[in-house]
Amino acid sequence: MTKEQGAGRPRKSDSKLTKQSIIAAALPIVQQHGVNALSFRALADQLGVTPMAVTYHSGSKSELLADLVEAAFRDALGEIGGRTATERARLILVRYCTCALRNAHLLRAVLNDTSIMGPSLYRITESLSQNTKILNDGDKGDVLLHLLIDYTHGFVLSATANNDNPLIIDDFLRGLDWILDRVVSNDESTK
């Protein structure tokens, strides 16, 4: 005679819930509907588990958001080629902007709470910083770095807020190239 399982916790062997499965379910929700649409109950319903099980595997909502940011931007940098610092900076920003356009709701969340900014975003910033220091002739204030990051964030926020006349990556590139063309005059060809 077999014993049927009653109410209560599922047996560990029955549980297939993982942090990765939660992230995989949560990311499309945030990408399409925003951070406010994300709830442990919605995830639990989608995954066929209890909200407590989701919380157990993912931690707080802030921890889940940090994991989502990391998952969304993990592959944004990729291999960076380019002969010059200008080419490398452009490539970094194009890849970041493309990824940020897909994940604009997460970008807004990061801008509202920088504690959820993960290692991937720090790597992107550091890689860009290495190249802007060459272009900026070592400016300790990182003015060019901040200008490029602010321009990129502003573009993403504008592009994703304007449904009547959507901006596309070519619009971003026109502005980016305009900025970088003014910097190249710093005799970048030897760097």
Query: Rounded CA gap, 89 and 124, in Å?
Result: 10
Give me the pLDDT at residue 15, please.
55
Give me the pLDDT at residue 155, please.
95
Q: What is the mean pLDDT of residues 126-145?
A: 87
Please give the mean pLDDT across all residues of the chain: 88
Residues 114, 28 share a domain? no
Give me the pLDDT at residue 8, please.
52
pLDDT range class, residue 185, cuts 50, 70, 90: low
Expressed as residue numbers, the domain containing 186 is: 73-190
Domain contains 2: no
Domain contains 64: no
Angle, CA of 53, 110 and 101, to the nearest 5°: 100
Give me the pLDDT at residue 9, please.
56
Domain contains 117: yes
Residues 105, 48 share a domain? no
Query: Do residues 72 and 98 touch, judged by C-beta distance below 8 A?
Result: no
Which residue matches tokens 């560990």? 12
In 29-104, at which residue ranges do the beta strands (DSSP E only) sit? none
CATH of the domain at 23: 1.10.10.60
Give me the pLDDT at residue 13, please.
35
The tokens of 127 are what?
A: 């890689």
Rounded to whole angstroms, what are the CA distances from 99 to 14, 104, 125, 191?
A: 36, 8, 14, 28
Give me the pLDDT at residue 136, please.
81
Residues 107, 162 share a domain? yes
Q: Would the pLDDT of 190 be above 50?
A: no
Q: Would the pLDDT of 82 be above 60?
A: yes
The total of structural domains in the chain comes to 2
Domain contains 96: yes
Domain contains 79: yes
Residues 106, 80 share a domain? yes
Query: Rounded CA gap, 100 and 103, in Å?
Result: 5
Residues 111, 38 share a domain? no
Q: What is the pLDDT of residues 34-63, one digit of tens each?
A: 999 999 999 999 999 999 999 999 999 999
Query: Rounded CA gap, 86 and 131, in Å?
Result: 7
Q: How far is CA 4 from the centre of its chain?
A: 45
Domain contains 174: yes
